[in-house]
Amino acid sequence: MTPSPADAALSARIEAAFGTAAPLIRRFALLAFALMAFAFLANTARMVMEINAPACGGHWRTALWACIGAGVIAALSTAVMGLGYWDQFFAMLRFMSELMQTEIVRFERMMTWYALLRLGGAGHDLAMPVQLAVTAAAAASVAWVWSRRGASADIKAATLCIAIPLATPYAYHYEMTLTLVAALFLVRDGFGATRGERLWLLALWLGPVPGLALLGHLPPALYAAPLLTATLALCLARARRRDTAPAQG
C-alpha cells in the first residue's frame, strides 16, 4: 500500500530525528561491542548473541575485541576475588537453574516463552525444550541476517536487539527496553511509512509501559513473547527482501 503524503512526511520527520545519531553509531560501533563484554558474565544467551552477530557478519575484529574485553573482566574479577569467585559463580548458576523449576520465580513478571508456557500450566520439562528451540531459532536468525550482504546495518542491529530477550528463559518486563532500540533501528531502515507500521512501532515503543502499568493484571509474556517473535520475523523478511533485491533488478 502506498503511503499518503501526510504519512510519508511524518515518517521522514521521524527518520530525520533519529538519524542524527547515525555518525556516532558508526564511529563507536567497535567500542560499543567491546563494552558489551561487561554483560557477558551476567547472561550467557546475550554473550552468544553478541559474539554470533559480528562473527557471522564478518566483523572479526569486533568479535575479537568483545572476547578480549570479557577475558579482561574475568581476569580482573579473579585477581580481586580469587579463584573462589568462580566457585560461587557456577554455584549461583546451578541455583538459578534449580530455582527456575519451582513456582517461587515470578513468572507473571517475565516476558519469555518459557514464562508464558509455565503460566499456562506447562511444566519445566515441556517449557524448557520449547525455550531452547526459540533460543536456537533466535541465534540462527541473527546469524542469517548478519551474514546477508544486502541487509542494512540498521536491520542487523534491530534483529540483534529483538533476539537477545527472546534467547533467554529468564528475562523480566523491564528488559523490553531493548524493543525501544530495535524500533529506532527499524525506523532508520525505512519501516513506519504506513499507519499499520507505525502502530507496530508504537507497540514496540510502549512495550515496557504496559509491563509496569498492568503488572499483576496482565503478565508481560502474554504480549511480549508474541510481539518479539513477530518482530524478529519482520526483520528476517526485510533482510531477505533487501538481500534479493539486486537479483530481481
Tens of pLDDT along the chain (249 residues) come to 444 555 445 444 444 444 444 444 455 555 555 555 555 555 555 555 555 555 555 666 666 766 777 778 778 878 888 888 788 878 877 887 777 777 667 888 888 999 999 988 888 889 999 999 999 999 899 889 988 888 888 998 899 889 988 988 888 877 788 888 899 899 999 999 899 999 898 888 876 565 556 555 677 788 889 999 999 999 999 998 876 765 544
- Locate 166 and state its grid cell: 527472546
Count of structural domains within the chain: 1
Question: Measured between alpha carbons, how far is 127 from 107 in angstroms, rounded to an integer?
Answer: 12
Question: Measured between alpha carbons, how far is 63 from 15 in angstroms, rounded to an integer?
Answer: 29
- Locate 118 and state its grid cell: 509455565
Question: Measured between alpha carbons, how far is 245 from 240 in angstroms, rounded to an integer?
Answer: 8
- Locate 229 and state its grid cell: 517473535
Give the domain extent around 213.
Answer: 5-248
Closest to 135 measured CA to CA, from 40, 37, 63, 46: 46
Look-up of cell digits 504480549: 223
pTM, two decimal places: 0.72
